[in-house]
């Protein structure tokens, strides 16, 4: 059961860190804006907000799935 | 005259009359190593999902070793996810801005780095574009080597995408800046040229031929 608790704590810290990073990032990019329309996107399609979305989704998915995995093992 | 105040508009330290002409991020080739490692990571996760039963029976053993192993793997995977995305975000924040006065390199990450380096356009003595190697030519990236007039040191801008365009742009801006500065000096001192001509004439008159003693 201790493993489940440790995994849950790691998951919460991970999600918290991700949210804090996104908050810092958006505070910075909203303060110093560039005209991105003149700039070629990464690989022609990837915008920063897609990366941020993927980051949040991945962190959340990984935290939840690892807790579920540990619960499945221990219970 | 309505003049826009650009102070700190696009980056911290931007001057009032400084206008951003263009900016660039490093070439995507800098992300290749991270992308490959992320693909490997996703492949490992897929493998785990596919062989769930075997991994489950291994971790279901109630021993201190398996607990420690599970904890370590989980922590490592979590750290890896954050490291990968923070590197990716850093790619977006690490930019070089070319303005009408200078070239500003902003090397920033979310937590650990915040460096700025500026090169004034009139201090640039020489710029060299370098694209050695088949990969650089194929993906169109390279280096801009900038020699400064005040020192013998050079400043190298690496992984510049489309270096030909940025090379021409910096040269053009430098010429425009010098022209503008000369124009400003003339408008401040409209008789400066005339005075210079007058001075030259005086100097010529002062040079009297030496008396011929022979």
Give B33-62 pLDDT, tens digit per residue: 999 999 998 898 888 877 777 777 776 666
Q: pLDDT-based confidence at B71, cuts 50/70/90? A: confident
Mean pLDDT of chain B: 81
Lowest mean pLDDT among A55-64, B121-130, B203-212: B203-212
For residue range B109-166, list pLDDT tens digits in order. Answer: 888 888 888 888 888 888 999 999 999 999 989 999 998 887 777 889 999 998 999 9
Residues 38-67 of A with CB under 8 A from B: 38-40, 42-43, 48, 51-52, 54-55, 58-59, 62-63, 66
- Nearest-by-Cβ selection for B59 from A40, A51, A73: A73
ipTM strictly over 0.90? no
Output B190 or B9, whichever has higher pLDDT. Answer: B9
CB B48 within 8 A of CB B70: no
Which chain A residue's Cα is nearest to B22?
A38
Judge if pTM exceeds 0.90. no
Interface mutation vs chain B, best among A62, A64, A68, most B CBs within 10 Å: A62
Average pLDDT on A19-48 reads 80
CB atoms B85 and A2 under 8 Å: no
pLDDT for position B204: 45
Residue given tokens 């996104």 in the structure block: A22
For residue B125, what is the enclosing H or E element? strand B124-130
SS3 category, B55 = helix
Q: What is the pLDDT of residue A73?
A: 72
Are B99 and B169 in contact by the 8 Å Cβ rule? The answer is no
Largest CA distance in chain B: 120
The pLDDT confidence band at residue B195, using thresholds 50, 70 and 90, is: low
What's the mean per-residue pLDDT of chain A? Answer: 84
Q: For residues A42 and A4, which has the higher predicted lDDT (pLDDT)?
A: A4
Q: Which residue has tokens 């201090």?
A: B123
């Amino acid at each position: 059961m201790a493993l489940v608790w440790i995994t849950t704590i790691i998951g919460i810290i991970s999600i918290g860190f991700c949210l804090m990073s996104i908050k810092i990032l958006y505070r910075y990019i909203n303060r110093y804006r560039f005209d991105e329309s003149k700039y070629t996107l990464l690989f022609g399609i990837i915008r920063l907000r897609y990366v941020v979305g993927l980051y949040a989704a991945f962190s959340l998915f990984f935290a939840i799935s690892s807790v579920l995995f540990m619960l499945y093992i221990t219970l | 005259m309505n003049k826009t105040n650009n102070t700190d508009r696009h980056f911290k330290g931007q001057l009032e009359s400084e206008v951003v002409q263009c900016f660039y991020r490093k070439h995507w080739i800098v992300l290749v190593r991270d992308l490959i490692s992320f693909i490997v990571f996703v492949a490992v996760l897929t493998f785990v999902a596919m062989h769930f039963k075997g991994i489950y029976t291994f971790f279901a053993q109630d021993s201190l070793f398996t607990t420690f192993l599970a904890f370590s793997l989980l922590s490592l995977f979590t750290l890896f996810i954050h490291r990968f995305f923070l590197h990716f975000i850093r790619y977006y924040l690490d930019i070089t801005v070319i303005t009408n006065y200078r070239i500003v390199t902003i090397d920033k990450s979310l937590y650990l780095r915040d460096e700025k380096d500026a090169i004034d356009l009139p201090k640039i003595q020489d710029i060299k574009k370098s694209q050695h190697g088949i990969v650089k030519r194929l993906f169109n990236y390279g280096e801009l080597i900038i020699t400064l007039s005040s020192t013998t040191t050079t400043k190298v801008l690496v992984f510049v995408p489309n270096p030909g365009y940025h090379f021409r742009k910096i040269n053009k801006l430098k010429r425009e800046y010098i022209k503008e500065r000369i124009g400003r000096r003339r408008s401040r001192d409209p008789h400066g040229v005339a005075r210079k001509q007058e001075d030259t004439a005086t100097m010529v008159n002062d040079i009297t031929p030496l008396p011929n003693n022979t």
